[in-house]
Chain A
Amino acid sequence: MPLELSEEERATAAGEHGAGAAMAMRIVAESARLLGAPRLISIASAHIDGALYHGDSGTLFAERLVDGGAKVAVRATLNVGALDLAGGCRVRLEEPQRAMARRMMHAYRAMGCEPTWTCAPYQAGHRPAFGSDVAWGESNAVVFCNSVLGARTNRYGDFLDIACAIAGCAPYTGLHRPRNRRAEVVFDVSHLPAEFLASEIAWPVLGSLFGREIGDGVGVVTGIAAHPGEDALKAFGAAAASAGAVGLFHIAGVTPEAPDVAAAGGGMTPKHTITVTPQMVADAQRRLSTANAPDRIDAVAVGSPHLSLDEVARLEELVAGRRLRVPLYACTGRHVLETIDRDGRRKLLEACGVTIVADTCVVVTPIMAELPSGVLMTNSGKFAHYAPGNTGYDVLYGSLADCVESAVSGRPQFGAATEAVGR
């Protein structure tokens, strides 16, 4: 079906509202044509992943929009950038790249985007209404927005995210269409020990397995007795969206489009079921580590997606004022930083050896020391997936409690304080 634009959309593309708005509308329309969308739909908000510096062309594009007078037509929050503007770490990005990254961040703000600089905008006050159409980028934010909030978005990439925010509309295709949101596969975890399901690592490990099994499809998790909490769903989605191309998941009895398994399937239980076994979970957990039984660790990184206030509190509880032997990078957003700065808690953490990374994170820009054959420990399924390729470190996966104990001793510690989990 050929794309049909409204009269107003055509006028915007022709330049009626300025050169910037015209360029944005043409980009949205061309994408819609390539995607086979029949029309554009209005969107309620955007989350922009495009302000992360990959090269000068992205900066020039953003500045061209600014020069053309482009402004976002809807609420638009910004994902992480390449620089830490508010936190306490030095990013090793040299000139002239550093200046170009800064110019890029500035251009997106000039278009009216909010300087949230976080990959967890949904915990920074940006929570679109159930059933609303939005244009979000950043894979973990996309999957959270679709699955936990029940708003509707595809995986918007660089350029298209800001173009949609300026145009105020998006191609009507993919997960914007209700029929594409139905679960096709059941992911049954009811055979797993309750002890595992209550543990801190359950959700990131299951997410990683889910992503690999489901790919870019839609699945519904069954066998979960109670809501595991928002941070658990955040960890599950982030791991699923990095191990696979998951844009939407359902959890029967937990997420808003899945009061039960049949509802998740659009009125009928999906025919195909994956029965998750303890063996599959053990394999998935093993695959999150690339380091082979190291006798030391060089750093710990937590906060992908960015730590919530609750997660920072848990980190404080586990560190308990002890001095860390290796650096622990805690990545978060300024929405959390504000509170822990005000309360003096940031200083206490930093005094123990925690490096607070804000506005960015350790896998998207050079922050950690360059260390051939370095070993990074993490509790994040997403860090575990990207750190080897992006930082050169080998990864050791463990719970937050294990990560902290290992940072204190400088050696891998497993099985720490698991009784404290799941309260």
Chain B
Amino acid sequence: MKGDVLVAAAASGGPALVLDRPISFWGGVDARTGRIADVRHPQHGQSVTGTVLFVPATIGSSSASAVLMELVHRDLAPAAIVLHEPDAILLLGLIVAREMGWPIPPAVKLDRRFHARFRGQHVSIDNEGAIDAPVFSSARDA
């Protein structure tokens, strides 16, 4: 499946974490542990680290970028981020981290209607925004 590259980075992959609800990174993700800290979020307690994180929507805080950059700096970032729509404030965290010379995960745009089919899959993303998972290759084989 083809997504649009929002922030380019090296090809990447990891287990999918498909968020059931929108998330606010500031106050919603603990920058020291990588875990979802918002007690009202259905995936509270799960770690975003190393996952291909599917985000249906973000709740705006102007410090979301600081949290995402701190995750990158601590090696706790997702392996890749898939957003329904671009969130300039959140993605700024990746842009600044890249300016700092730290390896960043790619960010790709993909309509949230398609997020659920990646649930439970190991997802890979190439540097042109193609998103792949075993569920698709078995479909191709069939």
A residues adjacent to B (C-beta < 8 A): 23, 26-27, 30-31, 34-35, 49-50, 54-58, 60-61, 64, 137, 139, 155-160, 216, 245, 389
Given A30-B92, A34-B88, A54-B31, output 11 extra A-B contacts at Cβ < 8 Å: A27-B95, A31-B88, A34-B86, A50-B66, A57-B100, A155-B60, A157-B62, A157-B66, A158-B66, A160-B92, A389-B27
Identify the interface centre among A34, A58, A389: most chain B CB within 10 Å of its CB: A34
Interface positions, chain B 35-89, Cβ under 8 Å from A, are: 60-67, 69-70, 72-74, 86, 88-89
Measured CB to CB, the nearest residue on chain B to A23 is B99
**Residue B97, interface by CB 8 Å:** yes
Provide the residues of chain B in CB contact with A54, threshold 8 Å. 31, 63, 66-67, 70
A408: min CB distance to chain B, Å: 34
B56: min CB distance to chain A, Å: 18
Interface class of chain A by DSSP: helix
Provide the residues of chain A in CB contact with B95, threshold 8 Å. 27, 30-31
Identify the interface centre among A50, A54, A64: most chain B CB within 10 Å of its CB: A54
B37: min CB distance to chain A, Å: 10
A155 touches B31 (CB 8 A): no
B73 touches A159 (CB 8 A): no
Q: How large is the interface on B (under 10, 10 to 19, 20 to 34, 35 or more residues)?
A: 20 to 34
Q: How many A-B residue pairs have CB under 8 A?
A: 81
**Residue B19, interface by CB 8 Å:** no
Q: Show 23 residue pairs from A and B whose CB-CB distance is below 8 angstroms, ordered by the A residue.
A: A27-B96, A30-B92, A31-B95, A34-B88, A34-B92, A54-B31, A54-B67, A54-B70, A55-B31, A55-B70, A55-B73, A57-B66, A57-B69, A58-B66, A64-B99, A137-B62, A157-B64, A157-B92, A158-B62, A158-B63, A158-B92, A159-B92, A159-B93
Interface mask (B107-137 → A, CB under 8 Å = 1, otherwise 0): 0000000000000000000000000000000
**Residue B11, interface by CB 8 Å:** no
B31 touches A64 (CB 8 A): no
Complex Cα gap A23–B100 (Å)? 9
B92: min CB distance to chain A, Å: 6
B91 touches A34 (CB 8 A): yes
Measured CB to CB, the nearest residue on chain A to B93 is A159
B46: min CB distance to chain A, Å: 20
Measured CB to CB, the nearest residue on chain B to A64 is B100
Complex Cα gap A159–B89 (Å)? 9
B44: min CB distance to chain A, Å: 14
Identify the interface centre among B64, B69, B100: most chain A CB within 10 Å of its CB: B69
Provide the residues of chain B in CB contact with A23, threshold 8 Å. 99
Measured CB to CB, the nearest residue on chain A to B88 is A34
Q: A27-B92, A245-B60 are in contact. Are A157 and B6 (CB under 8 A)?
A: no
Provide the residues of chain B in CB contact with A55, threshold 8 Å. 31-32, 66-67, 70, 73-74
Complex Cα gap A30–B32 (Å)? 27
Complex Cα gap A137–B63 (Å)? 10
Provide the residues of chain B in CB contact with A160, threshold 8 Å. 65, 89, 92
Complex Cα gap A160–B6 (Å)? 17
Complex Cα gap A57–B97 (Å)? 9
Complex Cα gap A49–B89 (Å)? 14
B79: min CB distance to chain A, Å: 19
Provide the residues of chain A in CB contact with B86, threshold 8 Å. 34
A316: min CB distance to chain B, Å: 34
Complex Cα gap A31–B93 (Å)? 10
Complex Cα gap A50–B92 (Å)? 13
B88 touches A58 (CB 8 A): no
A159 touches B66 (CB 8 A): yes
A56 touches B96 (CB 8 A): no
